[in-house]
Amino acid sequence: MSNSKPAPVILWFRKDLRLDDNGALTAAAQSGRPVICVYIREPESERTGPLGGAQAWWLHHSLSALLKSVEAIGGQLLLRSGKAADVLRKLAEQTGSDRVLFNRHYERDDLDAEIIAALQEDRIEVKRFKGQLLHDPHSMRTGTGGSYRVYTPFWKALDRDGDPREPLDPPKKISSSLINLETEVLKDWDLLPKNPNWAAEFDRIWTPGEKGAWTKLAAFTKKPIQTYKKDRDFPGLGDATSNLSPHLAFGEISPARVWFATRQLGEFANADIIHFRKELVWREFSYHLLASFPQLPVKNWNDKFDRFPWSKNRDGFTAWTRGMTGYPIVDAGMRQLWRHGYMHNRVRMITASFLIKDLMIDWRQGEAWFRDTLVDADVASNAANWQWVAGSGADAAPFFRVFNPILQGEKFDPDGSYVREFVPELAKLDNKYIHRPFDAPLDVLARAGVKLGTTYPNPVVDHFTARDHALAAYAEVTGRS
Ligand code: FAD
C-alpha cells in the first residue's frame, strides 16, 4: 500500500443490514478514508443459539440486496466466516486498517467486550454507534435509578422524553479501498432450504432487504395505520398491521425511521399512531428486560416457575408444531407460521398459551420452535413475549389468564376467514362451528366434508380439563389457590 493513502476503516455490518440511518456507515463515509465493508458469519453463540431456518432464508436474500446497495454507492461488501474478533483482526492486518466501526447489537452487547479488547490489543481503534433501538436500553432508568420491570411506566418515561433522535440519511458515496480482498460467495453459505423447499411461499409474502422494508412502511402508513387500534387484533384482515417485524429484526430499517414516518402523518398524534408507537416500544421494553436479565431466553424471570411440573408430552408438542391440535385457531396459527415464517400477534398469544397451559409444555420449547420458524425471530422480543404468556416474566400476564382457543377464535376471527385460509379442510364449515368442529352435529360435518379423526384431528386435550390441571399445578408451585 502506498504511504500517501489514508488507512482504510473497516465497517462491520451486523443486524443493521441497511444504508439508511446507519450511524457507523455514515461515520465511515464521513471519515474520508477508504471503507471496507464486511459481514461476518459467526459460529453460533451459546445464548442466542443457531440462526433459525426461516431467518437463514431471510439472511440470504437480505445480504444479496445489501451486496448490491453497497456496490451502488461505490463500495464492496466482503463476506467472511469465523469468530468476529479473528476475522476483524485479520482484515485489519491485510489492509493496514487501524479503525473498526460498528453499530451496537444489544442482544450480544456483553460479548462485544471481548471483541473490543482483542482489537485494542492490536492497537485498533473501535467505535460503536447506536441505532438498533430508539433509546439505549441501559440508559432508561426509574426515578430510583433501577431498571423498569413494568411496561406502562417505561412507555410513559419514553413518551415524556419526546421524539427520539432524527434518523440519518444514507450516504450517497463511500470511497472504496481498491485493494483486492478475498470474499466468500453467498451461495456457498447454503442458507436456502432444499428438498423440501419449505420456504416456497415466503417469496410471495416477503421482500427481504431495505427496499422491501420501505415498501411495507409506505403501504402501512398510507392506510392501515388509520385503523390500526381497532383492526390489529383480527388476523383475518391480513395487512392491518405493519409487517415490519422481520425488517426491524435484521435492521433493514431503523425504529427511528419508522417512528419518524408516523410523525410525518400529521401534526396530531392520533390514537392509532400512538397505539402503533406503543407496540414499537414493546420491542424497546423487551430489550430493556434483556439488558437487565441477559438470561431471559433461557431462565424464568420469576424463579418460582423453576419448580413448575412441565410435561414431556412429545405427541402434544408434535401436534402443536404441525397445526394438528384439533383447535382451529391454534392450528391456523401454527400453519401460518410454517407457510409464511410469520404469525399474527393475537394468534401468537393464543398458540403460546395453548402450548404452555393446555399442553403444560415448557415455554422454552415454544420459544425455540418460534426462533427456528419465524422470519422475525428476535432474542429479546421472543423471550419476553413467551415469558409474558407463561406468567413467568416481568410484567407478565398472570398465569391464571388462560386463553380459551374457542372464544378467542370466535371473537377475533368471527367469520372464520383466517381459519379457512390456513386450515382448508375446514373451509366449508358453517361459521357457527368453524372454531368448534368437535361440537358440530354429524350432518353439518358431513355437508362440509369434514370427518373428525380422519380429515381433521379430534382435540388433543379437552381445554377445560387441561385448564383446571394447569391451574392446580400453578397453585401448588406458588402456594396460591
Ligand atoms: P405491528 O403491529 O405492526 O407492530 C410494529 C412493530 O412493533 C413490530 O414490527 C415489532 O417490532 C414491534 N412489536 C409489536 N408487538 C410487539 C410485542 N408484543 N413485543 C415486542 N415487539 C412488538 N416479535 C418479534 O419481532 N420477534 C419475535 O421473535 C417475536 N416473538 C413473539 C412470541 C410470542 C409468543 C408473542 C406473543 C409475540 C412475539 N412477538 C415477536 C411480538 C409480535 O407478535 C410481533 O412483533 C408482531 O406480530 C409483528 O407484526 P407486525 O410487524 O405487523 O407488528
Specify the residue with its C-alpha closest to ligand 1, atom 33: 385
Ligand 1 pocket residue status of 280, Cβ below 6 Å: yes
Distance of CA 213 to the CA centre of its chain: 14
282 is catalytic: yes
Where does residue 6 rank: exposed (0-12), middle (13-18), buried (19+ CB within 10 A)? exposed
Residue corresponding to grid cell 369434514: 450
Across-strand partners of 37?
11, 77
Instruction: Output the CA–CA distances (angstroms, integers) from residue 423 to 202, 332, 341, in the order listed.
Output: 18, 6, 16
Please confirm, yes or no, whether 363 is among the known catalytic residues.
Answer: yes
Q: Is the minimum distance from the CB of 283 to ligand 1 under 6 angstroms?
A: yes
Instruction: Name the CA radius of gyration of the chain, rounded.
Output: 24
* pLDDT for residue 460: 98
387 CB near ligand 1 (under 6 Å):
no
**Cβ of residue 243 lying under 6 Å from some atom of ligand 1:** yes
In this structure, the residue with its CA closest to atom 52 of ligand 1 is 243
Verify whether ligand 1 is closer than 6 Å to residue 385 (CB atom): yes
Per-residue pLDDT at 250:
97
* Cα 13 → chain centroid: 18
For residue 278, report the distance from its CA to the centre of ligand 1, in Å. Answer: 11
**Ligand 1 contacts CB of residue 281 (under 6 A):** no
The confidence score (pLDDT) of residue 51 equals: 86
What integer pLDDT is reported at residue 3 of this predicted model? 52
Atom of ligand 1 nearest to the CA of 247: 9
Q: Give distance in angstroms: CA of 283 to centre of ligand 1.
A: 7
Amino acid 63 reads L
Residue 147 three-state SS: coil
* Cβ-proximal residues to 320 (8 Å cutoff; 6+ apart), any chain: 330, 334, 351, 354, 355, 359, 361, 366
The closest alpha carbon to 356, from 336, 370, 375, belongs to 370
Question: Has 189 been annotated as catalytic?
Answer: no
As beta bridge partners, residue 49 has 45
pLDDT at position 142: 93
CA distances from 161 to 4, 135, 237, 263, 481 (A): 47, 10, 34, 15, 42
* Ligand 1 pocket residue status of 244, Cβ below 6 Å: yes
Whether 57 is catalytic: no
Residue tagged active-site, from 363, 382, 385, 388: 363
Distance 184 CA to ligand 1 centre (A): 33
Q: What is the 3-state secondary structure (H, E, C) of 341-355?
A: CCCCHHHHHHHHHHH
Q: Of residues 189, 198, 279, 404, which has the active-site annotation?
A: 279
pLDDT at 319: 98
Residue numbers of the chain with a pLDDT score lower than 70: 1-4, 45-50, 267-269, 480-481
Q: What is the pTM of this model?
A: 0.97
Active-site position among 12, 58, 301, 386: 386
Residue nearest to atom 42 of ligand 1 (CA): 345
pLDDT digits (tens, 9 = 90+) for 428-444: 999 999 999 999 999 99
Q: Which of 206, 254, 279 to mutate to test the pocket of ligand 1 (most atoms within 8 A of CB)?
A: 279
ipTM at complex level? 0.99
Grid cell locating 38: 464486511
Q: Which DSSP state fits 143? A: T
155 included as an active-site residue:
no
The SS3 assignment for 474 reads helix
In 3-state terms, what secondary structure has residue 20?
A: coil
Provide the grid cell at 472: 392446580
- The label of the residue with cell 437487565 reads 292
CA 449 and chain centroid, separation: 38
* pLDDT value of position 2: 46
How far does the centroid of ligand 1 lie from the alpha carbon of residue 333, in Å? Answer: 14
Is 279 marked active-site?
yes
H or E segment and range at residue 367: helix 363-373
Residue identifier of the C-alpha nearest atom 50 of ligand 1: 243
Which protein residue has the closest C-alpha to ligand 1 atom 31?
382
Q: Are 434 and 328 in contact (CB under 8 A)?
A: yes
Is ligand 1 within 6 A of the CB of residue 241? Answer: yes
Ligand 1 mean position, distance from CA 453 (Å): 34
pLDDT of residue 176: 85
E-strand spans in 104-156?
A: 125-129
CA distance 319 to 432: 24
Say if ligand 1 is within 6 A of residue 347 CB. no
Q: Under a CB-based contact definition with an 8 Å cutoff, are residues 298 and 306 in contact?
A: no
* Ligand 1: centre distance to CA 374 (Å): 11
